[in-house]
Every structure is written in structure tokens, then in C-alpha cells.
Structure 1
Amino acid sequence: MEKSSSGKLTLVSLILMIFTSVFGFANMPRGFFLMGYAAIPWYLVAGILFFIPYAFMIAEFGAAFKSEKGGIYSWMEKSVGPRYAFMGIFMWYASYVIWMVNVASTIWVPVSNLIFGHDTTGQWSIFGLASSQVLGILGVIWLILVFLLISRGLESIKKITSIGGTAVALLNVVLLVGGVTILILNKGQLAQPIHDVATSFTVSPNSNYHSIISILSFLTFAIFAFGGTEVVGGLVDETEDPVKTFPKGLLIAAGCIVLGYTVGIFMVGIFTNWDSVLSSPDINMGNVAYVVMNNLGYELGSALGFGEQVALQMGAWTARFVGLSMFLAFSGAFMTLSYSPLKQLIEGTPKEIWPEKMTKMKNGLPLNAMKLQALIAITLLALVSFGGESAAKFFDKLVLMTNVAMTIPYLFIAFAFISFKKRDDIEKPFVLYKNKTIAIGISWVVTIVVAFANIFSIVEPVTSGNYDQTLWMIAGPTLFSAIALVLYARYDKRTK
């Protein structure tokens, strides 16, 4: 990363760091799958009402508590109180456990694309087990394997997987260049036509997203697309002339991310007709990115005038490249996130909260706590995968659970910012929200937007009779809330 002569981040390097930490390739094909071009305005709404104001909050928190080792726990503990802070950081940690359950199952989709050139996981079966159950068992094996590798100190594996991050970044270039090439070769004709701008950009081609509740529930997906904002908190002190450079860099990065998602979703529509490519019941949130990129290869071959067989092979090899890239990226992220959130949870909170065995370190890792974490993740995965569903519903449930779980911590942090701004005793070396009343008002807007997005996401499956999806979205956060309350009550009793 380029730095100035003073060793600080320049405006350009700051923008690049924020962009690469937040922008996610899979959010574009998923957005198009759920809402078509109508996803674009929602990503814009999420950027304006959530990402930019939330990132400014994170920046102020990070600067005020830069010397504290507890991370987000310190932010909330100093602003609101220890019980609230522990609940907040525990929900933040829990979101990563649910993310691990998701990835342990969905990582087999890129593996399938890498081997076969398309997703075959919906047909995987052994000993008469359904595909979702086979994926659940494979996910359990993956969780055990990762724990064994990391517990033996084989962190060097992460260096290999950093190639995946570069490859995924390259996917964005492939999408852009491929889309523009197809548009030129097809003389400006879109695969997903725009008959009427007002309708095409507000009405989803997906019949599941026509009701008011389902459309509003999409906001959770849009907010989730801006995940990774937490990295902003540590960049204020790393930036040259932060008072001027940081807000400018953040606004430009936010603009680039929103523009990137907008262009990316539009690119998908250039070569993907929703009804002919994405309406199949075999398409789900776990495999849609691979289906879209396979179609990109096929449509590029067709536009170049190649025969059907050559075009199909181009599609399959594009899917293989996506599969390899995503597998490496998922593996690297999984290796890191299987211990770093847990380590921050244990090291950032009062030691007395935890049973002594949980705080013991070996090779710099809390191995006993990691064992328990693996056991919880395996139990959750087994319960979800053996629910007797098709692979499509299984993947959809996992994605919904993850989106809700990973956006709940934003509520805790945004709400804590209200107290933070009211507290004049906290030294604030870097202030973006100069007016206290405006800052508190914006905090309430962010809190309400995230809360309502999650409420609509939880309620929406009930309207279509998918009660189990709602139950699982509630079950994860409820379970971890109960554990957090028990742990803190035990600590409170002992310390008193």
C-alpha cells in the first residue's frame, strides 16, 4: 500500500484500502438474482443511509479509543457500560460463528464449479442422504480439518490463500470487460431489456420480491454488501492530515463502492436474461455467482461467433476460474476468522468473565475456546442441514441467517455512538460530526434503518409460509444472547 513521505496513508491509498475491504464481488450477482436492476436503488439507499454515516461513526470511535486494546468492546464499554459492551461484542463474535456455518457448507459450490465447470451440489447424494445433508457432513469435516490445521500452527496456509483475494479482485475486471465486450458485439442489445426505466429499476423480475415486505427485506442484503466497514476504525491515525484527507477519502471510496455495485449489477443484465437463466429452481444464493459467470463465458463465446460447444466450454472454464478464486478466498478468510474474532472476544473483555480453561493460550491461540467454538458451529450446521430441505432452500436459509446475524452488531455500535457523542468526558481527537444534535439524529437513522431491515428480513419468510427460515434467523442471535447474559451475570455475581 502506497504511503506518503511521512509514512502515512495518502488519499489514493486510503480509498483503495477501504474499497478492497468493503467491496464484495458476490453481492452483484446475488443482488441481480433477487431484484434485477431494481437492486441498484437499494444499494444506493444503503450507501447513503448506512455505509457513509456508519463509517464516520467508526472513524470517530477508532480515533478516540486508539490506545485501548479491547477494540469494539472498549468503544461500547466507555460509551455505555460493560454489560451492554459485552452483549455487543458477543453478538459481533456470534455473527462470525454463523458465517463459519454458512461458508463450511457453501465452500463446496466453488469446489464443484472448479471440478465440473458448473454447480452439481444439488445432486450430491451418498447412502441415500439428501444433498443438503451431504453438504452438512462435508461442512462438519471442513470445520474439523481447519481446527486441526490451525491448532498445529499451520498459519502459513493463509499466505497461499492470499492469491484468492487477488483472483477475486480480477473477477471484477472479467465481469466489466466481458460485459462491455458483449454489449459492443451485440450492438447495444441487453439480455435483460429495459422497457421502462421507472418499472425496470423498481420492480423485480423475481416473483418472490414483489410484496412490500419482501422488497424492504432486501435492504438487509444491501447493508450486508457494505460489511467490512470496521476496518475504517484503525485507519484514522494511519492517514496523512486526517481531518481533511479522511472524510474526503471515505466519501470518494463510498461513491466508488456504490458506483461499482451499480455498474456491476447493470453488467450482469447485459448478458443475463433473468427468466431464461436465473428462474430455474436449481439456482440459489449459494451458486448464483457461478451461474452468472458461467453464462458470461457462454454469451461471450456466442457473441464472438463461436459454435455452441465452444461457447459452452468457455462458460465452463469461466466457472472453473471463479470456483478456484472463490475457494482460495473463502479458505483464507475462514482460516483467519476461525480464530481472530474469538481471540479479540477473549483478550478484549475482562478475563474474569471466562472460565479459566477458555483463556489458556497455546501457539498464541485460545485452543480450548476454539474447540468449543468448533463444537457449537458443528451442532448448528448439523441442525440446519438435517432439516429435510432441498439444497436451494438450505443455501437460502444459510445466507439469510448470516445476513441478519452480521448486521445486528451494527445496531449495538450505532446506538452506542449516541452515548459516545453525549459524553463530554471522552476525549475526541478526531471529530467528523461537529454538531452533537445532528450526530445523534444520524445515529438514530442508522439504528432504525438496520433494525427495520432485519425485522423485514425475519418477517418476510412467514408471509410465504417459510416459518423455519424465520425461526433460524431468530434462533442464532437468541441463543448467543442467552449465552452472553449467562456469562455476564456469572461474572457480575463473582466480582460483587
Structure 2
Amino acid sequence: MSEQNRKLTWKNIALTGFVMVWGFGNVVNNFANQGLTVVFSWIFMVACYFVPYALMVGELGSSFSDGKGGVSTWIRSTTTPMLAFMAGWTYWVVHIPYLAQKPQAILIALSWVVNPSGELAEVIKALNPLILQSMVLAVFFVFLYVSTKGVKILKVIGSVAGTSMFIMSILYIVLGVSAPAITGRPVATPNITFGSFIPKFDFAYLTTLSMLVFALGGCEKISPYVNETKDPSKNFPKGMLILAGMVAICALLGSIAMGMMFDSNNIPKDLMMNGQYYAFQLLGEYYGLGKSLVVVYAFANTATQVSALVFSIDAPLRVLLGDADSKFIPHKLSKTNKNGVFVNGYIMTSVLVGTLIIVPALGIGNTTDLFNWLLKLNSVVMPMRYLWVFLAYMGLKKSIDKFGSDYKFIKNPKIGFMVGLWCFAFTAFACIMGMFPSDIPAFTSEWIFLVGMNVATPLVLMGIGLILPYIAKTSNVDINKKAS
């Protein structure tokens, strides 16, 4: 691309990346995990993990600017086709826990729209987990059907609602931090000192790292913009550093605002489940706005969650099957109907998601624990796709002479490889530690059940990906023989 056709500035990169990466839920969920000690965690994570992650993505995007497969293209170019298939499979399969959790979030958001006082949310919280998950499964099947119709308006609504949620998140930080000075409300967390922000580096703390990694992941979505940036070697890293600063400021101020509204020493157990709505409910009370803020936020969140669910059912499946390699994907999975829907792919999705919706309800005692577990399972499984980014970067640095780019994060191949290895190892460590629940007594029956599910879920999901090439080897050969 010629320099005159490059229109993006560092400001565009920073703002686009911020909308892609950040959300108010990141603040609430990690405060629920760590309290005010999350302030230290955010500083460490942004400086030592997020900044190198984002800049690696920039170099990869610039080096493989003609590739259309994203991470899969990077892996194919730096390693082997089989690993590229596994990268594509991972990108799809990590959405299974995400799809299992989204209908829960839709029901909860809707309850706050209908009843902003929170009584309906309390009813949902009191439901038997099996009853709730049956409702969740019904919601999932409704939107699975909707996604087969390609209802694009939902995605448009979701985009608008997502922008509204972004604005509401910034509004919360501004109003939340200012509340004690403007309204005279006392700070909920008593006796805040410097030590209040420093975590205790024990086993329980290490189990919370995966949620931080989950919050800061997804930078690879920015990679297509590297080669559309004016003077990318200068403006792209500048934009990424500004993005990191914006994330850090929002994370720190948002966490402090949460500490002003909720006692960091006595965090409500359902804060992950309802904390976003509690926060806007309190803001409305502080500023004499009644229930208006929580209704607006809940409505925007409902639309965003619905759009995300529909989009995440269809889009990752198209990435996986749209240009399927017959060496790795059974032909039957690529079968489409008259609407271009991958019928058997949808069936595979529904079986995996349905299993993950119902089975946990058999061993988890209440809906709050169930919601928290599914959210934490996402923080274990979703970052698995980030591992491929770091593997691709290590491969790039080992073969640096084969590839050229307008932008290089680290010019020294050995140092670049070590930085990629650090991010890979830290992500893997965080995912493994996230498998152990810290809010349930160890080695109780429920603890053992949850650890078993946390270990089994990624193993089964990745195992299916390893089995598919062997199925394809047999089934696709038979199909080719019949065709000839």
C-alpha cells in the first residue's frame, strides 16, 4: 500500500483498539476476584503483558499483510499446516464456553430491564441451577435458529448498543470516582492505604490471573490496520502505547470507583453476575436519577449480548469451515443448506454447547456459583487462542530473514523470541492456575467437580480438533472415490 493511501493515524489505532479490547465487565469481574489489590495487578499486566502482546500483533500483521486467515495464516507461514488447522480450530472451539455463558447473561440483563429494582434478578439467582440452565438452553436454541436466518439487523443493533455501553462505562468511571466529592457519599471500603492495593501473592491470587489475561486479550483484531497506518513503524507502536495507557487509566480508575461503592473487604458473592447493574443502580441513587441509569445500561447490554451470541454462533464457524482443508476437516461438516448455513457445523455446535450448559448444573449447587464458574471457565479457555499469537511470533523471529515488514517491535531475533516465549508461558500458566477455584473449600465434592470440569473441558474441546483430521482422512477419501 502506498504511503498516500494510508489514512490511519496513531489516534485512530488507539481508539479503534480501545473499543475492540476494553469493556466495563473487565473492571467489575476483576474487582470481584481481587478487590482493590487489582490496582497493582492492572499495572503489572498492562506493562509486562498487554504492551508486548499488542506490539507483537503489529509486527505479525505487518509481516503477513496479504494473509486473510489472521492467526491461522501467521501459524501456517511460520510453522506447519497441521498447526495452522489447530490454530483455526482453537479460534472456533474456545467460543463454546462463551456460547454456553451468553444466554445466562441475556436473561440477567433482561431481568434488570424489566425490573430495575433487582427483584427479578433475585428470583433468577434463587432458581434451581437445572431449571435455570434449561431456560438458558431454550434461549440458546432460539438464537441458534435466528442465526441460521442471517439477521444482520441484530449485529447492527449490537454495534450501536456496544458503543452505548462503552459510553456508559466511561460515564461510570467519571461519576463513580467523583461521587464522594460531589454527593458527599462515604467511601464503601474503609481505611484505604497504600497496602490496600498490594495483593498477597499466594495460591488464591495466582488463580485469578486468567481473568486478567482474558480481559486484556484480543489484540489480534487490530492487525489488519497496521498496513493502513501512516508511517507504521512510528505511528502503530505509538497508537498501541496510547491504547495501553487508556486501558490502564480506565482499569485503575474503574477499580478505584468500584472500591468506593463496594467494600473491597466484603465483596458480594454475586458481583460478577449482577455487579454491573448494582453499580449503575447506586450511581442513580447517588445523583438522584432513580433507576434511569440502570435501565439504559441493562437495555444496551441486552442488545449487545444478543448480537454477540448470534454473531459468535455463526462467524467463528465460517472462519473454520468457510475455506476448509479436506486434509483436516471432514467434508460432511462443510455441508451447507440453501441459505449457506453449515448445517452439520451447527449441529456440532449445539451438541457441545448444550452439553456444557446442562452438565455443570448437575454438580453446582446454586445459580450464582454456576454463573461465576462459567465466566471463569471462559477465562481459562478463551486465552488459549492467544497462545497461537505468541507461537507465531516466536516462529517469525526464528525465520526473520524470510519475512519483511514496515514495522518491527523488536529487531533482535533472540530477544524477540524470548519476549514471545514469556507471553506464551505466562498465558499458559494463568490458564492452568485458573482451573482451580479459590472461593470454594479445596477438595470438597464441589471443588473436585469444578476442577474436573475445568480440566476436562479444554482437553475434550482440543481433543476433538486432533481427532477430526483422522476422520477426514477416511471419510473424505470415500467421498472422492464415489465422485470419481
TM-score by length of 2: 0.90
Partner residue of 2:463 out of 477, 482, 494: 482
Q: Distance in 1 between matches of 2:38 and 2:449?
A: 26
Q: CA deviation at 1:108?
A: 1.0
Q: Which residue type is aligned with residue 405 of structure 2?
A: P
Q: CA deviation at 1:189?
A: 4.8
What are the within-5 Å matches in structure 2 for residues 8-407 of structure 1? 8-117=7-116, 118=118, 120-124=120-124, 130-186=127-183, 189-197=186-194, 199-203=195-199, 212-274=202-264, 278-279=267-268, 281=269, 283-301=270-288, 314=290, 316-361=291-336, 362-407=338-383
Q: Distance in 2 between matches of 1:160 and 1:367?
A: 26
Q: Distance in 1 between matches of 2:48 and 2:393?
A: 15
Q: CA deviation at 1:7?
A: 5.3
Residues 48/70 of structure 1: CA separation in 2 closer, same or farther (3 Å cut):
same
C-alpha contact (below 8 Å) 1:98/1:401 kept by paired residues: yes
Q: CA deviation at 1:494?
A: 8.0
Q: Distance in 2 between matches of 1:343 and 1:440?
A: 32
Residues 393/460 of structure 1: CA separation in 2 closer, same or farther (3 Å cut):
closer
Q: CA deviation at 1:130?
A: 4.1
Task: Could you list the structure 1 runs, at least 4 aligned residues long, displaced by more than 6 angstroms after superposition.
Answer: 493-496
Q: Distance in 2 between matches of 1:348 and 1:55?
A: 27
Q: CA deviation at 1:136?
A: 1.1
The residue number in structure 2 matching 1:310 is none
Residues 350/263 of structure 1: CA separation in 2 closer, same or farther (3 Å cut):
same
Q: Distance in 2 between matches of 1:290 and 1:360?
A: 42
Q: CA deviation at 1:483?
A: 0.6
C-alpha contact (below 8 Å) 1:150/1:335 kept by paired residues: yes
Residues 159/195 of structure 1: CA separation in 2 closer, same or farther (3 Å cut):
closer
Q: CA deviation at 1:426?
A: 3.1
Q: Distance in 1 between matches of 2:31 and 2:144?
A: 35
Q: Which residue type is aligned with residue 426 of structure 1?
A: K
Q: Which residue type is aligned with residue 67 of structure 2?
A: E
Q: Distance in 2 between matches of 1:269 and 1:119?
A: 24
Q: Which residue type is aligned with residue 422 of structure 2?
A: V
Q: Which residue type is aligned with residue 163 of structure 1?
A: V
Q: Which residue type is aligned with residue 120 of structure 1?
A: L
Q: Which residue type is aligned with residue 196 of structure 1?
A: T
Deviation string 1:90-135 (CA, Å, 9 cap, x unpaired) is 222111111110112222111111111126345349xxx9432232
The residue number in structure 2 matching 1:309 is none
Deviation string 1:158-214 (CA, Å, 9 cap, x unpaired) is 2223221122012123312322441213558532234321x21024xxxxxx67111
Residues 119/347 of structure 1: CA separation in 2 closer, same or farther (3 Å cut):
farther
Deviation string 1:240-293 (CA, Å, 9 cap, x unpaired) is 1111110111111111111111111111222333456x33x4x24222222222
C-alpha contact (below 8 Å) 1:90/1:480 kept by paired residues: no
Residues 364/425 of structure 1: CA separation in 2 closer, same or farther (3 Å cut):
farther
Find out whether 1:448 has 2:425 as its counterpart. Answer: yes
Q: Distance in 1 between matches of 2:4 and 2:396?
A: 34
The residue number in structure 1 matching 2:482 is none
Q: Distance in 2 between matches of 1:211 and 1:177?
A: 31
The residue number in structure 2 matching 1:305 is none
The residue number in structure 1 matching 2:481 is none
SS state of the match for residue 66, structure 1? coil
Moved more, 161-170 or 96-105: 161-170
C-alpha contact (below 8 Å) 2:35/2:265 kept by paired residues: no
Q: Distance in 2 between matches of 1:298 and 1:332?
A: 30
C-alpha contact (below 8 Å) 1:30/1:289 kept by paired residues: no
Residues 411/153 of structure 1: CA separation in 2 closer, same or farther (3 Å cut):
closer
C-alpha contact (below 8 Å) 1:71/1:348 kept by paired residues: no
Residues 450/467 of structure 1: CA separation in 2 closer, same or farther (3 Å cut):
same
Deviation string 1:465-489 (CA, Å, 9 cap, x unpaired) is 3122212221221111211111123
Residues 440/275 of structure 1: CA separation in 2 closer, same or farther (3 Å cut):
closer
Q: CA deviation at 1:392?
A: 1.1
Q: Distance in 1 between matches of 2:127 and 2:61?
A: 47
Q: Which residue type is aligned with residue 483 of structure 1?
A: I
Q: Distance in 2 between matches of 1:318 and 1:40?
A: 26
Q: Which residue type is aligned with residue 190 of structure 1?
A: V
C-alpha contact (below 8 Å) 2:183/2:286 kept by paired residues: no
The residue number in structure 1 matching 2:386 is 410
Residues 489/55 of structure 1: CA separation in 2 closer, same or farther (3 Å cut):
farther
Question: Equivalent pairs: percent with the same residue?
Answer: 23
Moved more, 169-178 or 359-368: 359-368
| Structure 1: gaps of 5 or more residues | 204-209, 302-312
Residues 373/494 of structure 1: CA separation in 2 closer, same or farther (3 Å cut):
closer
Residues 258/180 of structure 1: CA separation in 2 closer, same or farther (3 Å cut):
closer
| Structure 2: gaps of 5 or more residues | 478-484
Q: Which residue type is aligned with residue 238 of structure 1?
A: E
State the number of aligned residues. Answer: 468
TM-score by length of 1: 0.87
C-alpha contact (below 8 Å) 1:109/1:119 kept by paired residues: no
